[in-house]
Structure 1
Amino acid sequence: MTESPTQHEQHEQHDKPLRIAYSPCPNDTFVFDAWAHGRVPGAPGLDVTFADIDITNGMAERGEFDILKVSYAVLPYVLDEYALLPCGGALGRGCGPLVLTREPGTGADLTGKTVAVPSEKSTAYLLFRLWAAESVPGGVGEIVVLPFDQIMPAVRDGKVDAGLVIHEARFTYQNYGLNCLADMGEHWERTTGLPIPLGAIIAKRSLGAERLRQLADATRASVRMAWDDPEASRPYVTEHAQEMDPAVADQHIGLYVNEFTADLGENGYAAIRGLLTRAAAEGLVPALGPGALSFGTLR
């Protein structure tokens, strides 16, 4: 029997590799190594693009790519088109963004000062704005967006007064002679008791509920395979770790790949809702609609 065009197109769509974009950071390459290299049984193929978080946030807002690693802060702008997958992302404790300066100080010292951030729609910047509202009288001055790996050199060289850093900078900022003025994660955990929501995995709702469940299963399987055999992912992690010290890469993975990566769970979803609800109440992001975080719900 001849397939109808619709059936044929559906088969073609399922055979075609899915376009995915995530960062070259160790946590992402660790998580997706098994899937990206075809070792997850039954998982669709992936066409991988590496991009900094500010780039992937923009891709999501433009509806580009099938699957993306983005900041949780961008979710209110993209959840009509994308669904949040319940795994694969970065949440945790003791892993928040840091505000770095050349000299020790307090939040008050940032009044009117220039601060470099990795993205204006990053979770790091959202956490910073919530902290600054309480800790920087009169507010900061100019905000400059820089790729995350350029922020510490910019602070060190005096091009900006302070920098909001993410990723492995938590382990390496002393190498630049910098001081930690404030820990956004510590502030978040102290005021909410919740883990810190950083990066999310989202996928196009148009793929359909069944396909979205398959992608969640593939992501979770890839995470567990990486945990079961960490050495298998090492070449992929090392290749893209931008000359990072292997010990720092291992610390990075240990901090950002945890139980929330395998499954957001009740506490993970509570943290996400807490962040976005609080930010919406402050007028920093649009309010989420009912059921916006529900996985696999097509609208």
Structure 2
Amino acid sequence: MKKTITIAHSPDADDIFMYMAIQFGWIGNDFTYKNTALDIQTLNDLALKNEFDVTAISFALYPLITSEYALLRTAVSFGEGYGPKLIKKKDTHLKRNFKVALSGANTTNALIFRMKYPEAKIVYKNFLEIENAVLNGEVDAGILIHESILEFDDTLCVETELWDIWLEFAKESLPLPLGGMALRRSLPISDAIKIERDLTNAVKIADSNRHILAPMLMERNLIRVNEEKLETYLNLYANKNSICMNETQLKAVDTLFKLGYDYKFYDKIIHAKDYLIPSEYEKFRNS
């Protein structure tokens, strides 16, 4: 009997797109994969409880779970000239202590926001509720993430792009680390290597066959946007740069971790490469 591996991801289009090659049976024969879709902050909270074998996380969460989870190289989402948006009603001015809705305490957007706006009053909401919270006056502003950045009510405007804040703090043009994947350390290393390979191949196949996969997702009502917006969104967050983190992306993750330490969100500095799965183990074992 195959071992069952639990995988958790968010319900937004890029995570679903990158995972579904496994769900449709296009990849992976060693394990039975069982998936769960939850909003990102719920995933972050459950990662703190070591709930799933493999889980999507905000990169900003990872320094808090290093003892239980390794960092995967694949199924990653970075912003490059784009990303979450801080929105407000048009013709309004935000005070220093404005009230803002964020999608979760351990999200990357929350970390960057709190560095820039330390006096803001924060409330946390499911990302699907944030636009309405601004519209009905419950909060003065909110950060939109996922597909919400593509279109929002025309009475709202962008106060600032998180991308611009990131560049301000990073001091150089690095991609903005948003979403990553983590794998439970208690899994045997040989299994971990195979799982990462399966996920990497799934993202690669999804990217190469998006003209087939995207309509399948639309037909099954798995996506919250129309076909045109889906294509735009996947071009942003589920693309060739999602397949395997490159050196520039790893440097960006390290920069995020260093900023988190400098602003006292973490108690130590970590480097992403030290927490990746040692895929070279398999070559040494078989040599």
Shared fold per TM-score greater than 0.5: yes
Counterpart in 1 of 2:243?
A: 262
Q: Distance in 2 between matches of 1:90 and 1:276?
A: 16
Counterpart in 1 of 2:284?
A: none
Which of 189, 198, 202 aligns to 1:209? It is 189
Larger mean CA deviation between 112-121 and 210-219 belongs to 210-219
* 3-state SS in 2 of match to 1:45: strand
Deviations 1:267-293 (A, max 9, x none): 111011101111111112232446774
* 3-state SS in 2 of match to 1:126: helix
Which of 159, 162, 165 aligns to 1:184? It is 162
> Cα distance, 1:156 vs. partner?
1.0
Q: Distance in 2 between matches of 1:260 and 1:127?
A: 22
Contact 2:79 2:163 in 1 (8 A): no
> Cα distance, 1:21 vs. partner?
0.8
State how many pairs are aligned: 275
Q: Distance in 1 between matches of 2:44 and 2:235?
A: 24
Contact 2:254 2:271 in 1 (8 A): no
Is 1:249 aligned to residue 227 of structure 2?
no
Q: 1:286 to 1:43 in 2, by over 3 A?
A: farther
Q: Distance in 1 between matches of 2:30 and 2:89?
A: 47
Contact 2:13 2:147 in 1 (8 A): no
Counterpart in 2 of 1:126?
A: 111
Deviations 1:17-48 (A, max 9, x none): 21111111110111011112221143522111
Report the aligned-residue RMSD: 2.0
Opposite residue 3 of structure 2, the aligned amino acid is K
Q: Distance in 1 between matches of 2:70 and 2:179?
A: 14
Counterpart in 1 of 2:256?
A: 275
Is 1:54 aligned to residue 69 of structure 2?
no
Counterpart in 2 of 1:227?
A: 207
Counterpart in 1 of 2:283?
A: none
Q: Distance in 2 between matches of 1:41 and 1:276?
A: 32
Is 1:236 aligned to residue 221 of structure 2?
no
Q: Distance in 2 between matches of 1:29 and 1:246?
A: 15
Opposite residue 57 of structure 1, the aligned amino acid is N
- TM-score under structure 2 length normalisation: 0.89
Contact 2:90 2:155 in 1 (8 A): no
* 3-state SS in 1 of match to 2:57: strand
Opposite residue 151 of structure 2, the aligned amino acid is T
After superposition, residues 161-172 of structure 1 pair within 5 angstroms as 161-172=140-151
Q: 1:71 to 1:65 in 2, by over 3 A?
A: same
Q: 1:195 to 1:259 in 2, by over 3 A?
A: same
Identity %: 24
Is 1:154 aligned to residue 133 of structure 2?
yes
Q: Distance in 2 between matches of 1:123 and 1:290?
A: 16
Contact 2:27 2:201 in 1 (8 A): yes
Counterpart in 2 of 1:5?
A: none
Deviations 1:149-175 (A, max 9, x none): 1100110111111001111122112x3
Counterpart in 1 of 2:18?
A: 31
Which of 53, 74, 79 aligns to 2:61? It is 74
Q: Distance in 2 between matches of 1:221 and 1:292?
A: 21
Is 1:111 aligned to residue 96 of structure 2?
yes
Larger mean CA deviation between 161-170 and 49-58 belongs to 161-170
After superposition, residues 83-122 of structure 1 pair within 5 angstroms as 83-104=70-91, 109-122=94-107
Q: Of Structure 1 and Structure 2, which has the larger fraction of its residues in helix?
A: 1
> Cα distance, 1:232 vs. partner?
3.1
Opposite residue 46 of structure 1, the aligned amino acid is Y
Q: Distance in 2 between matches of 1:290 and 1:157?
A: 42
* 3-state SS in 2 of match to 1:31: helix
Contact 1:131 1:184 in 2 (8 A): no
- TM-score under structure 1 length normalisation: 0.86
Deviations 1:111-137 (A, max 9, x none): 11110000011001111112225xxxx
Counterpart in 1 of 2:31?
A: 44
* 3-state SS in 2 of match to 1:273: helix
* 3-state SS in 2 of match to 1:240: coil
Opposite residue 246 of structure 1, the aligned amino acid is E
> Cα distance, 1:176 vs. partner?
4.7
